Amino acid sequence: MTLRRTPLPGVGTQYDLSTREGRHLSVVAHQDGRRFLGFYRPDDPDACQATVPLEPAEAAALAGLLRDEDDPGAPAHPSELELDLVSERVQVGQRSPFRGRTIADTLARRRTGASVVAVLRRTGAVPSPRPDFRLEAGDVLLAVGTSEGVRLLTELISGGDAGRGPGDDDQD
């Protein structure tokens, strides 16, 4: 078996796997979280027979199926640790009260417990945006947190009062 990693600038990373039997497959991991599986012809390892697009949750589920359950050194599956962490995309709409404001203005982590780990914008992805990053209508926030926390963040960004705690004023 051989495994090769190839950076794809502006796209992501391609991982190529050639099995002991000479079969070739690849995974292209895009910066926006999408994954594509590629299957190659046995008689021509450069000719792609088919590709299968996978959303992030589908890729994670497939990775879990492929993990060796009998290998004690293999990383534990999140469900085995009983973590309630999810990642979701949250749209900043035209009516969002945070359109034109910074991520810090949302007080998202304090109000909801969810974290904004990236912002997807028409011009590209911004991983680990700084607190002073200004949101625009059409931005998509990649949020990580509990199911409830991400639901509250979605409500907050859309204009609800999600996560308001004692002492929060109405001037967000």
Residue-wise pLDDT tens for the chain (172 aa)?
A: 777 888 777 777 888 888 888 788 888 888 888 888 888 877 776 677 888 888 877 787 887 777 766 655 555 444 333 445 778 899 999 999 999 999 999 999 899 988 898 999 988 889 889 899 999 999 999 888 888 999 999 999 998 755 444 344 443 3
The conformation of residue 22, written as its DSSP 8-state character, comes to S
State pTM to two decimals: 0.49
Indicate whether 163 belongs to any domain: no
The pLDDT value given to residue 100: 96
Rounded to 5°, angle at Cα 110 from 133 and 168: 100
Model pLDDT, residue 155: 95
State the Cα–Cα distance between residues 50 and 52, nearest whole angstrom: 7
Number of domains in the chain: 2
The CA distance from 48 to 26, in Å, is: 9
Q: What is the pLDDT of residue 159?
A: 86
Separation between Cα atoms, residue 157 and residue 68, nearest integer Å: 40
Does 136 lie in the same domain as 93? yes
- State whether 100 and 42 are in the same domain: no
| Enclosing domain of residue 48 | 2-69
Domain boundary among 44, 69, 94: 69
Structural contact between residues 46 and 40, judged by C-beta atoms closer than 8 angstroms: yes
**Percent composition of the chain: helix, strand, coil (DSSP 3-state, to 5):** 20, 40, 40
Same domain, 112 and 146: yes
Same-domain status, 87 and 153: yes
| Cβ count near 107 (within 10 Å) | 15
- Are 95 and 63 found together in one domain? no
Q: How many CA atoms lie within 13 A of 20 on its CB side?
A: 0
Confirm whether 146 is domain-assigned: yes
**CATH code at 99?**
3.30.70.1450
